[in-house]
Amino acid sequence: MSLDIGDSGQPIDQKVRIMAKKKKQAKKADHSDYGPKEKLQHGEYVEIETAIAGVRAIRNTTHDPIAFYQKKKLITSLQFQAAETFSHDYRKAALVAHYAHSRYNHVNGGDMPLEVLEAVQSAKQRVRSALVHIGSPLDQVVEFVCGDGHPAGKWKKVARANRPDRDGMVALRLALDGLINYYRL
């Protein structure tokens, strides 16, 4: 019975076991610390790539109501796309309430560059024209859910209904259909 000896002087079978053990240890070391496990129990998280090679982060997919509704198939992909387009314009127009704002290269009190002001004004015009196209009162639910990020069931027009979540979703779907028409999706 002959024993094959590898380059390191150890039998090959033992060498394979050592390499497999090192590989398992390397896989365990790749996981990042995403915070306490209690945090991960609230919501659904997906692992995403970052700009830094080899570093991954997690993103809460249930934080944004529109993403949550699309994930649960309560709205169609076209409705989701329309809501995301409106939401992007709404944020660009600086209509979102800012609770915390920190920019290290920005000094308060200074004038904004002309290009930034033009982009903000253009986004505000797109938001206004989209809301006019949808009409009242559905424009309010789009602004409430897509713009401000609140759930549809908390909208003031359906808050006192017997089933606010269901009624809010009906209103949101109708409003998103109007956005699909406006954006010609």
Higher pLDDT pick, 182 / 15: 182
- Using the predicted structure, report yes or no on whether residue 72 has a pLDDT greater than 50: yes
CA torsion 64-69-70-76 (nearest 10°) is: -130
Assigned token pair, 27 = 């896989």
Burial of 118 (0-12, 13-18, 19+ CB in 10 A): exposed
Domain residue limits, the chain: 12-60, 65-99+115-183
Per-residue confidence band for 28, with pLDDT thresholds at 50, 70 and 90: very low
- Using the predicted structure, report yes or no on whether residue 81 has a pLDDT greater than 90: yes
**What does the alpha-carbon distance between residue 146 and residue 141 come to, in Å, rounded to a whole number?**
8
- What does the pLDDT read at residue 172? 92
- What does the pLDDT read at residue 25? 45
Mean per-residue pLDDT, 14-31: 49
Average pLDDT score, the chain: 76
pTM assigned to the model: 0.62
**What does the alpha-carbon distance between residue 117 and residue 93 come to, in Å, rounded to a whole number?**
9
Q: Please count the other Cβ atoms lying within 10 Å of the Cβ belonging to residue 84.
A: 15
Give the tens place of pLDDT for each residue, 84-127.
Answer: 999 888 888 876 655 444 444 454 545 667 777 788 888 889 98
Three-state helix/strand/coil letters over the chain: CCCCECCCCCEHHHHHHHHHHHHHHHHHHHCCCCCCHHHHCCCCEEEEECCCCCCEEEEECCCCHHHHHHHCCCCCHHHHHHHHHHHHHHHHCCCCCCCCCCCCCCCCCCCCCHHHHHHHHHHHHHHHHHHHHHCCCHHHHHHHHHHCCCCHHHCCCCCCCCCHHHHHHHHHHHHHHHHHHHHCC
Tell me if 89 sits within 8 A of 127, measured CB to CB.
Answer: yes
